[in-house]
């Protein structure tokens, strides 16, 4: 890659780790001269002011932040700070929330209309940064506590419904979550569906909801679902297989000899990239850093699995030792025959 390509890659990384919105106005850049239906930044000077102030996204983001803060405050007022919702839960949710800002509000969002690689970065942040951090933040606990008592009771009763329990149990099983997440990833990279997101905001929004929703389901099933305590080994399997199939898709995109997404053919030149180079960069982002997240998470689960197995072995050994000690302390019965009077 040339220095220009590294400049673009460095900018993608910078956007991935920054998240404080700038106090500027505007929706998402200006129409591209060769593709009037595409709106986005056309050069570096336009990029840093092209924030996507979409009302639906902003309202949703502010509502979730308010609900979490309100619920956490109520829990801590009753149980004490750090109880119910731990400090690390709060930090995880905050980091996940900021990751959503980067993906959906920062210049990365409109930049995705210009570069496939930027669009790919946006999706990876949603699925591999925001989703697991939000799950680790335990938002459902805080959200329910934030609701009025009557509303919270009604929601809890709905969740106790046998039909809903059956549906949710089926969807949240690790295998189901793994399958839904994988199918969602592959389907949305079919060229005509991916390109439809560039010309239709409703389809684009549905794509983001699909990616984030399936990722939340996947990470929740592994981290907090009812099977996670007994399924460390399966979690490792699901994470490594996800790394394999998502890495395969990234490799296919990287080594493709033709452009899969022609909609970007007229928007990459102003960024110093050919359409194929842009596609290769996007494939590399999915292939290397994205797969690394799954592998690191898999190794973390594997380590937890070994520790849990070691703890069980120690507990079993302690129980056997305690049983042996108790048997040794019991008085032995005399082997002599009873005296006959």
Predicted confidence (pLDDT) per residue in 221-238, tens digit: 998 866 555 567 788 899
pLDDT score at 10:
45
Query: Is a pLDDT exceeding 60 seen at residue 37?
Result: no
What does residue 194 show for φ and ψ, rounded to 5 degrees?
-60, -40
pLDDT: which is higher, 18 or 79 = 79
SS3 content of the chain, % helix, strand, coil (to 5): 70, 5, 25
Cβ(131)–Cβ(212) below 8 Å: yes
Q: How confident is the model at residue 23 (pLDDT cuts 50, 70, 90)?
A: very low
Percent of the chain with pLDDT over 90: 48
Q: How far apart are CA 173 and CA 218, in angstroms?
A: 9
pLDDT in tens, 151-200: 878 887 777 777 888 888 888 888 999 999 999 999 999 999 999 998 88
What are the tokens at 138? 């335990």
pLDDT score at 22:
33
Q: How confident is the model at residue 32 (pLDDT cuts 50, 70, 90)?
A: low
pLDDT score at 89:
94
Q: How confident is the model at residue 54 (pLDDT cuts 50, 70, 90)?
A: confident
**Residue 304: which residues within 8 A CB-CB, separation 6 or more?**
232
pTM: 0.80
- Beta carbons within 10 angstroms of residue 105's beta carbon: 18
Instruction: Tell me the mean pLDDT in the region 82-106.
Output: 94
pLDDT in tens, 124-139: 999 999 999 999 999 9
pLDDT score at 139:
93
In this structure, the dihedral spanned by the alpha carbons of residues 128, 220, 141 and 124, taken in order and rounded to 10 degrees, is 10
Q: Of 237, 218, 129, 112, which Cα lies nearest the Cα of 174?
A: 218
pLDDT score at 231:
62
Instruction: Tell me the mean pLDDT in the region 335-339.
Output: 47
pLDDT score at 341:
34
- Mean pLDDT, all residues of the chain: 82
Which of the given ranges, 19-23, 175-179, 329-333, has the highest pLDDT on average? 175-179
pLDDT: which is higher, 201 or 3 = 201
pLDDT score at 38:
58
Query: Is a pLDDT exceeding 70 seen at residue 14?
Result: no
pLDDT score at 9:
47
Cβ(84)–Cβ(141) below 8 Å: yes
Query: Is a pLDDT exceeding 90 seen at residue 293?
Result: yes
Q: How far apart are CA 39 and CA 33, in angstroms?
A: 10
pLDDT: which is higher, 339 or 122 = 122
pLDDT score at 340:
40
Helices marked H in 18-148 = 44-47, 55-79, 87-104, 108-111, 116-125, 131-136, 139-146
Domain ranges of the chain: 23-150+163-317
pLDDT score at 186:
96
């Amino acid at each position: 890659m040339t220095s220009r390509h590294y400049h673009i890659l460095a900018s993608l990384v910078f956007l991935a780790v920054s998240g404080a919105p700038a106090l500027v106005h505007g929706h998402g850049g200006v129409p591209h001269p060769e593709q009037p239906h595409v709106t986005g930044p056309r050069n570096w000077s336009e990029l840093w002011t092209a924030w996507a102030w979409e009302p639906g996204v902003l309202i949703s983001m502010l509502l979730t932040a308010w609900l979490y803060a309100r619920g956490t405050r109520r829990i801590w007022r009753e149980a004490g700070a750090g109880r119910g919702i731990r400090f690390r839960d709060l930090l995880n949710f905050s980091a996940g929330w900021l990751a959503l800002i980067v993906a959906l509000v920062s210049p990365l969002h409109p930049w995705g209309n210009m570069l496939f690689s930027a669009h790919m970065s946006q999706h990876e942040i949603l699925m591999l940064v925001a989703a697991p951090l939000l799950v680790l933040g335990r938002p459902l606990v805080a959200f329910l506590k934030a609701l009025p008592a009557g509303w919270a009771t009604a929601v809890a009763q709905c969740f106790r419904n046998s039909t809903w329990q059956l549906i949710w149990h089926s969807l949240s099983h690790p295998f189901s979550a793994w399958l839904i997440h994988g199918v969602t990833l592959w389907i949305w990279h079919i060229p005509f569906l991916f390109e439809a997101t560039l010309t239709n905001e409703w389809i684009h929004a549905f794509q983001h909801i699909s990616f984030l929703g399936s990722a939340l389901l996947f990470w929740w099933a592994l981290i907090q679902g009812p099977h996670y305590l007994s399924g460390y080994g399966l979690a490792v399997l699901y994470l490594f297989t996800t790394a394999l199939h998502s890495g395969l898709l990234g490799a296919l995109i990287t080594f493709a000899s033709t452009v899969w997404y022609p909609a970007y053919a007229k928007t990459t030149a102003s960024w110093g990239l050919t359409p194929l180079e842009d596609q290769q960069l996007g494939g590399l982002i999915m292939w290397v850093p994205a797969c690394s997240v799954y592998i690191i998470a898999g190794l973390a689960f594997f380590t937890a699995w070994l520790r849990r197995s070691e703890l069980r072995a120690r507990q079993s050994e302690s129980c056997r030792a305690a049983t042996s000690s108790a048997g040794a302390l019991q008085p032995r019965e005399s082997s002599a025959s009873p005296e006959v009077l």
